[in-house]
Chain A
Amino acid sequence: MRLALYVTCLVDLMRPSVGFAALRLLESAGCEVVVPEGQTCCGQPAWSAGNRALSADLAKKAIAELEGFDYVVIPSGSCTDQIRNVYPQLFAADAHWGPRSRAIAERTYELTTFLADVLKLPAVPAKFEGSVTYHDSCKGLRGLGIKRQPRELLMKVNGLALKEMSDCEECCGFGGAFSVKFGDVSTRIVDRKCDSIAAAGADAVVGGDLGCLMNIEGRLRRRGDETTRVLHIAEVLAGGGNS
């Protein structure tokens, strides 16, 4: 099985360890993983801003470099949602790019969905001493139906205890440009998320989208919480969670 790993622009710039964790996980599951060289960004920021033309340009670029693989795997629900759900909309009336975007969409999976539902991973190569609480990111949860998969995988981690927080499906307030445009509103929203995390009392908060995690980590630290770790699920599953 030959697959393309699309690391996302945020992981590339802000937290490379997530990309390497995903790589390790997929390789240890026996996949041949290629990191297509030209990849930059899926174009979601332009799409969210309402700029269809710019987002279509970047979508075409991504489609072209992701073709020719059995699967495309992405350690982000948000970017996966963009490729799976938005690309086919962008090119619905396009005779050339329409079929190509639909073909890519069908083969593109968010990391935990791919591990749990496609590979049906029987075990994960990880140990984690402590408890974690899982934040369901909006695009993954409501756009792709990701809910069971990350929890199934976390339960396979040696030593890990899952402590659900209340309102785990509530938005963290990130919303891409929203957190920069309406910073104070975003802060108010993430404060409620931090309250839920604090009440759950887990050693770490884990999620599948780096944007949400940066928002949560940034706010936890600013509030003075220096101990609750904030981890991408790839990092936990690949065994880097306690490092």
Chain B
Amino acid sequence: MSAVKHSQAMHFQARAGEKVRNPVLQRALQKAKPLFVGKRAKGVAALADDGLDFELLRTTCEGIRNRTLADLDVWLDIFEERAKATGAEVLWARDGDEVSQLVVDIARRHGVTKAAKSKSMLSEEAHLNEALAAAGIRPVETDLGEYIVQLAGETPSHIIAPAVHKTIEEVEALFAREHGRPVETRTSADIPAMTQEARAVLRQHFLTAEMGISGANFLIAETGTAALVTNEGNGRMVTTLPKVHVVITGIEKIVPTLEDFATLMRLLPRSATGQSISNYVSLLTGTRQPGDLDGPDKTVFILVDNGRANLLGSAYQDMLRCIRCGACMNHCPVYFSLGGHAYGWVYPGPMGSVLTPLYTGIENALDLPHASTGCNQCGSVCPVRIPLPTLMHRLREEQVERGLRPWSERLALKAWAWIAGKPLLYRWLTRRAARYLNWLADGEGRIRILGLAPEWTAGRDLPVAGGQTFHELYAARKRA
């Protein structure tokens, strides 16, 4: 699996430690969280203005996704047939390496030296930018956040807000360097000016790139259409100006009809940014026809598996419903303590904690399913009702079943469960434990350093009671 060699998910614990201690990152995250949460809450509440019920819509959207997945092969066949009828080419890729190979081949065939990209997380799965650069083709990210991340030589830390981990000072430094000007002092009032600056640079790239690469939020089977949901307009430039347009997307992104797409659009922008609809919604069908004012001469769809087909019919199929809105990470206490890079692979937050082990190997991402407090804030906002905590739990079970947990944890759990199964022994031991904890505590009933749980007392005291257990005191009370 090519994804494995790029995954840093096994280093989650160490990276998490770095991230919580990075004050710049913490400042950026602290700023972003209330915006995401507040906007979504407002957007969802506003559904009532249109006479719509959120829970009912969730059920409908969940149903659309489930029905599609139940006959995924059929819908993919229909999509391929309809897309070809509009003049597009449809290619299939088993994994990220195949994606890169196909894109490089297409680029070479058309003499491409520069490719303008709009946001595509699948191109991150494929490490496409590296492959293009290695082939002498310059990839230019044109989503503002992706542009920033590319300038910084980083990867996106959020699926819809790739540069959410960056502060304005960091962005200013990158722009000054890249755009060849001195660094200025910036406040949020300067964001429009900085955006204009990036826009002027990107405009030249749109006009000179021979190839446009985009993802697709949905593929619509009945019309052979790619649907693009964006806010910056770069998606339109990328998909209409260059003579070649390549759409890279996962096979699960398909929906049967335009009607289904319209229904899902009720929840996608609201769940992501709180908008009732994004600034741009593009439905891209086929190549430029005689009389069309714009559009590519060549459209190629690359439909990618990269682990998805394995989930069909498995205990994890629900995950394929995901429409990539980012609401799960926006509401995740762990994500907003770390940002996305700690997760080590393409997808962060709760959806990443499920997808990374499934796409890169359970044994290569052991911490991720445990990187959750089980709060279910993710599951309760997911627009297609993916039971994220249940899926993470299932992954934990699979780790146990496959003997992947550390022996110390296995032993401790076994010993504890054995003792908890023997009430008399349990009573005796807990009495001893209560005494011991009380002995460790200072005069105010607190333990400041506990060797048994150093991770706990590194950040907080352990409050303890008076050295006797409930059952001990209760038995004494009954005797009295």
* Contact surface of A with B, Cβ cutoff 8 Å: 7, 9, 11-17, 19-20, 35, 37-41, 43, 45-46, 48-52, 54, 57-58, 61, 138-139, 142-143, 169-171, 173-190, 192, 214-215, 217-219, 221-222, 230
- Could you tell me if A170 and B333 are in contact, using CB atoms closer than 8 angstroms? yes
* Set B370, B374, B463, B471: member contacting A221, Cβ < 8 A: B463
B434 at the binding interface (Cβ < 8 Å): yes
Given contacts A189-B337, A222-B460, contact A138 B377 (CB under 8 A): yes
Additional 7 contacts, C-beta under 8 A, given A17-B465, A46-B416: A13-B430, A14-B437, A16-B470, A37-B423, A54-B414, A139-B374, A181-B370
* Set B409, B433, B462, B466: member contacting A218, Cβ < 8 A: B462
- Could you tell me if A45 and B416 are in contact, using CB atoms closer than 8 angstroms? yes
CA distance A91 to B377 in the complex (A): 26
CA distance A222 to B397 in the complex (A): 35
* Set A13, A16, A173: member contacting B333, Cβ < 8 A: A173
CB-nearest residue of chain B to A49? B413
Smallest CB separation, B34 vs chain A (Å): 9
CA distance A230 to B462 in the complex (A): 13
Q: For B460, what are the chain A residues with a Cβ–Cβ distance below 8 Å? A: 187, 190, 215, 218-219, 221-222
Smallest CB separation, A213 vs chain B (Å): 8
Q: For B454, what are the chain A residues with a Cβ–Cβ distance below 8 Å? A: 183
Could you pull out 20 A-B pairs where Cβ atoms are within 8 angstroms? A13-B434, A14-B465, A16-B470, A16-B473, A17-B465, A35-B471, A48-B393, A50-B398, A54-B413, A175-B375, A179-B455, A182-B334, A185-B16, A188-B337, A188-B338, A189-B333, A215-B460, A217-B461, A218-B463, A222-B459
Given contacts A15-B465, A46-B413, contact A185 B337 (CB under 8 A): yes
Smallest CB separation, B423 vs chain A (Å): 4
CB-nearest residue of chain B to A171? B375
Max count, chain A CB within 10 A of own CB: residue among B337, B338, B468: B337
* Set A12, A46, A50, A143: member contacting B393, Cβ < 8 A: A50
Max count, chain A CB within 10 A of own CB: residue among B333, B409, B460, B466: B460
Q: For A182, what are the chain B residues with a Cβ–Cβ distance below 8 Å? A: 13, 16, 334, 370-371, 455
* Set B400, B414, B455, B468: member contacting A181, Cβ < 8 A: B455
- Could you tell me if A16 and B465 are in contact, using CB atoms closer than 8 angstroms? yes
* Contact surface of B with A, Cβ cutoff 8 Å: 13, 16-17, 20-21, 26, 333-334, 337-338, 369-377, 379-380, 393, 395-400, 405, 409, 413-414, 416-417, 420-421, 423, 426, 430, 433-434, 437, 446, 453-466, 468-471, 473-474
Given contacts A50-B396, A218-B456, contact A58 B421 (CB under 8 A): yes
CA distance A45 to B473 in the complex (A): 25
CA distance A11 to B414 in the complex (A): 22
Q: For A181, what are the chain B residues with a Cβ–Cβ distance below 8 Å? A: 370, 455
* Set B13, B430, B466: member contacting A12, Cβ < 8 A: B430
Given contacts A185-B337, A221-B461, A222-B461, contact A57 B469 (CB under 8 A): no
Interface secondary structure of A, over-half rule: helix
Q: For A175, what are the chain B residues with a Cβ–Cβ distance below 8 Å? A: 372-375
- Could you tell me if B459 and A187 are in contact, using CB atoms closer than 8 angstroms? yes
Max count, chain A CB within 10 A of own CB: residue among B338, B423, B459: B459
* Set B374, B377, B398, B420: member contacting A41, Cβ < 8 A: B420
- Could you tell me if A183 and B474 are in contact, using CB atoms closer than 8 angstroms? no
Q: For A183, what are the chain B residues with a Cβ–Cβ distance below 8 Å? A: 454-456, 458-459
CA distance A227 to B152 in the complex (A): 46
Given contacts A142-B380, A189-B333, contact A221 B446 (CB under 8 A): yes
CA distance A14 to B420 in the complex (A): 16
Max count, chain B CB within 10 A of own CB: residue among A37, A182, A189, A230: A182
- Could you tell me if A184 and B459 are in contact, using CB atoms closer than 8 angstroms? yes
Q: For B395, what are the chain A residues with a Cβ–Cβ distance below 8 Å? A: 50
Q: For A51, what are the chain B residues with a Cβ–Cβ distance below 8 Å? A: 397, 400, 413, 417
Q: For A40, what are the chain B residues with a Cβ–Cβ distance below 8 Å? A: 420-421, 423, 426
- Could you tell me if A176 and B374 are in contact, using CB atoms closer than 8 angstroms? yes
CA distance A180 to B416 in the complex (A): 16
CB-nearest residue of chain A to B426? A40
